[in-house]
Structure 1
Amino acid sequence: MSRLAGRYDEDDVRVRPNRRGSRPRSKDRPAHEEAVPGFVTAVDRGRWTVLVEAAGKGRNAQPERTVTAMRARELGRKGIVVGDHVGLVGDTSGSPDALARIVRVEPRRSVLRRTADDTDAVERVIVANADQMVIVSALANPEPRPRLIDRCLVAAYDADLDPLLVLTKADLVDPADFLANYAPLEVPYVVTSSDDDFSLGLDELRDRLTDRISVLVGHSGVGKSTLVNALVPGTDRATGDVNDVTGRGRHTSTSAVALPLANGGWVIDTPGVRSFGLAHVDPDRIIENFPDLSPGTANCPRGCTHDEEECALDAWVEGGHAGPAGPSRLASLRRLLASRTEGREEHRREER
């Protein structure tokens, strides 16, 4: 036995720790105080196009530039969409081979969402920080889809976006009858022609878009991309024809893109939609946009859907509290509420 054996016990043995995982991972993340602010204008297969404004003076001055960026690992799966204001680190020079990292997404002023259908709990963010939704619909070729328009209005009200209805191809069909359905909602509108230069209504539309961030929505074939090409010359957004058999347009825009307007503001072109799920929308958010009717819900029974016999809105309107337009306004409100629930009822019928 060694002469040292009696001098030490197991407490004196120093065990070498396992290096992997020996230090707890810090929950603190870098502040990235030096991050350069930018505005996301496009998303494509894991790469974001970000506009960085001019900054600095003298030798350190950097011009306005477009930067390609990836999402930093620390953001995890956090969604980044067109319209987001972000913080960038890395190579923000904007050179062809440069790649920056998005390390921060600033708080959003507004979020436009939709779900795949009215039973889907997963919300899909379309754009961030817009302040106006431009709902584009053709009056003919393809035929207008009032139900989709109603759903877009509901989504606009839920996101606190100002709605604007733009009707194209007014030289083919008189828009008066169609607009009469939306008069009680007091939705502003612009009527345009079907020619390539939009000789009718284009100047008025430009005025309504100036200094605002506007997102264009509508189903395929209604002329969204043609409008964008007229508003932002040189954009060359792809346009498509309407199928003579189905009456539907062909998808031409495959992703959202933000484009600057000459007089200030941005227009965001989005892919054509054929459905607009509203599973995420709270009915109270819709009613808030009817200030002449919302006080009348105070006496509604608990859980009132506002289309039942006990609904207090009928008495409110009959008492003249909503003004002479009350009956038509109430009918429009109930039409919008119905547009939210129709999809769910159809799904239940299919399950049976």
Structure 2
Amino acid sequence: MRPGAGPDDPTITAMRARELGRKSVVVGDRVGLVGDTSGSSGTLARIVRIEPRRSVLRRTAEDDASTAEGRLERVVVANADQLVIVSALADPPPRTGFIDRCLVAAYDAGIEPLLCLTKADLAGPEAVLDYYTELELPYLLLRPDSPLDALRSLLTGRVSVLVGHSGVGKSTLVNRLVPEAERAVGTVSAIGRGRHTSTSAVALRLPAPPDAQQDPGWIVDTPGVRSFGLAHVSAESLLHGFPDLIEATADCPPNCPHTADEADCALDGWVAAGRADARRLTSYRRLLASRAGETDARSEPDPRGQPE
């Protein structure tokens, strides 16, 4: 993305200049260009500058990986304002463990989360919403024929990243928002797992209505993922993905690890007093253990009994 680029500006093909060295250019970066920026066929510009990033959404491939490559930090997108977590209510079933991970990553990056629950024609949202009742997490319910006006309103003027497991309807949603995107749409297998359809992250400008007075915004479609590793997130930052538990830690001893075997951890009493959902504490401690490499991030169960 070029600073100041408008909806009528041409699409420019550019390559990274050698003087940038090994500095990576990622989706969402605001860059400076030199060379032929007309966008004419056969032209090529150079990226000579990457503007300071106002936010960086990261993930690691696996929390529990024993190799440096497996725990390699990956930048998903730069300069995003909003993380749209797309989860189906059925086929495949919702996985709150994955949603928890995405929330931690969003809060760590300083961007706002939005929960988008698809396939609302197949199941109700009560179980998922009950799990997040203390967070006041913004959400939308979508059926295949639902109007997208409310979603478009929340996307307008912003850079929004869409993440979700394969098969949840993310690519279908992108195609409805940006018809010319023609993102590949897959099906769900008999064992309830989606087939990967998107293979790379891509930024798409949302269409502007004829009377639009502001930038319609961008969406970044990402490949379907099976896990959202958090090895790059500190233990302290991990807690901020669970704001319903933070207040309790004021009564914990100094440097409390908040693990189940810490006798003086105040989180257990907080939950026992009914001030937080026990499933949320279970999820938090599971993520702590996974981040430390003590559990398998690929098979850890969801607090509601679904695999993550």
| Fold shared, TM-score > 0.5 on shorter chain | yes
Q: Distance in 2 between matches of 1:288 and 1:148?
A: 16
2:286 equivalent to 1:332:
no
- Shift of the 346–259 alpha-carbon distance from structure 1 to 2, 3 Å rule, reads same
Q: Secondary structure at the match of 2:38?
A: coil
User: Does the aligned pair in 1 maintain the 2:135–2:244 contact within 8 Å?
Assistant: no
1:347 is displaced (CA, Å) by 4.8
- TM-score with structure 2 setting the length: 0.82
Show the counterpart of 2:263.
309
| Alignment pair present for 1:345 and 2:299 | no
Q: Give the CA deviation at 1:154.
A: 1.3
Partner of 1:127: 77
2:219 matched to 1:267?
Answer: yes
- Return the offset for 1:332: 2.6
Higher relative contact order, chain-length normalized (CA < 8 Å, sep 6+): 2
Match of 1:139 in 2: 89
1:177 and 2:127 are equivalent in the alignment: yes
- Per the alignment, residue 152 of structure 1 pairs with 102
1:146-198 deviation per Cα after TM superposition (whole angstroms, max 9, x unaligned): 221111111111111111111111111112122211212221110101x2xx3
2:30 aligned partner: 85
Q: Unaligned regions of 5+ residues in structure 2, if any?
A: 65-69, 209-215, 300-308
1:235-256 per-residue CA deviation (whole Å, 9 max, x = no partner) reads 2111111122x32111111111
**Structure 2 vs 1, CA of residues 94 and 153 (structure 1 numbering), >3 Å: closer, same or farther?**
same
Q: For residues 148 and 295 of structure 1, do their structure 2 counterparts lie closer, same or farther at Cα, with a shift above 3 Å needed?
A: closer
Aligned residues: 283
Letter in 2 for 1:309: A
Aligned residue number for residue 19 of structure 1: none
SS of residue in 1 equivalent to 2:34 = strand
Alpha carbon RMSD of aligned pairs, Å? 2.7
Q: For 1:327, what is the secondary structure of its paired residue?
A: coil
Indicate the residue corresponding to 2:54 in structure 1. 109
Query: Structure 2: how far apart are the matches of 1:285 and 1:334?
Result: 17
The CA deviation at 1:333 is 5.4
Residues 278 and 340, structure 1, Cα contact 8 Å, conserved in 2: no
What aligned pairs does 1:224-239 form with structure 2 within 5 A after superposition?
A: 224-239=170-185
Gaps of 5+ in 1: 1-36, 40-50, 55-62, 320-324
2:80 aligns to what SS in structure 1? coil
Deviation at 1:297, TM superposition (A): 3.1
CA distance in 2, matches of 1:293, 1:179: 17
Q: Between Structure 1 and Structure 2, whose CA radius of gyration is higher?
A: 1
